[in-house]
Amino acid sequence: MSIEIANESGAKVDEASIVSAARFALDRMSVSPLAELSISLVELETMGDLNARWMDVEGPTDVLAFPMDELDSARRPDAAESSTALLGDIVLCPAYAKEQARTAGHSLLEELHILTVHGVLHLLGYDHAEPAEEREMFSLQKRILADFQSARSAARRRAAQRDADDQLLGAVGLGESSGFGERPPGGRQR
């Protein structure tokens, strides 16, 4: 799966983590591994221009999703096919999202994860214009984000355990720098 990210917003954010959230959502939605996605982070002014031009709404917003026009029900990106599927573009505005994060009581990165998953779902045809659609989309978004956070927490715990194990092994002389397990010249194990 190819996910390109361009940060033109000037905000310092963990771009790799945003890509991970997108990849996780696409995997959860069984999107073809040949799919391509573009994510752009932009300033308030740029987002306002895009929102006015494409949504006929004045002022900036948090996220916009631009699905590729050539995708149709006969060629869905989650179909098992052998050609590359161009999903489209997600545009995020960190400056706008920052206030939303503060109001919601979580970090900017968490808000950008939410908006990334939201954008992915829009690219896959989900919407929230009608109450039933809104319930379906936001329920799915919530499940994907909860699973993503669980997976991230588990990965952090595994990394911390590896670090602790490495420190312990080093303290007792069995770490990588101790030479334990290496074969000296002559072939016998130490």
pLDDT tens digits for range 10-68: 999 999 999 999 999 999 999 988 899 999 999 999 999 999 999 999 999 999 999 98
Closest by CA position to 115, among listed 38, 61, 51, 59: 61
Average pLDDT over residues 152-175: 85
Domain limits, the chain: 2-153
AA letter at 139 = S
- Report CA-CA distances (Å) from 131 to 61, 62, 65: 21, 21, 20
Tell me the fold of 2-153: Collagenase (Catalytic Domain) (3.40.390)
Task: Label the pairing between strands 63-67 and 2-7.
Answer: unpaired
Task: Label the pairing between strands 63-67 and 86-92.
Answer: antiparallel
CA–CA dist 163, 93 (Å, integer): 35
Average pLDDT over residues 110-124: 97
Angle between helices 15-28 and 131-171 (to 10 degrees): 120
**Is the pLDDT assigned to residue 105 strictly greater than 70?**
yes
Are 45 and 11 in contact, with CB atoms under 8 Å apart? no
Is 0.85 surpassed by the pTM of this model?
no
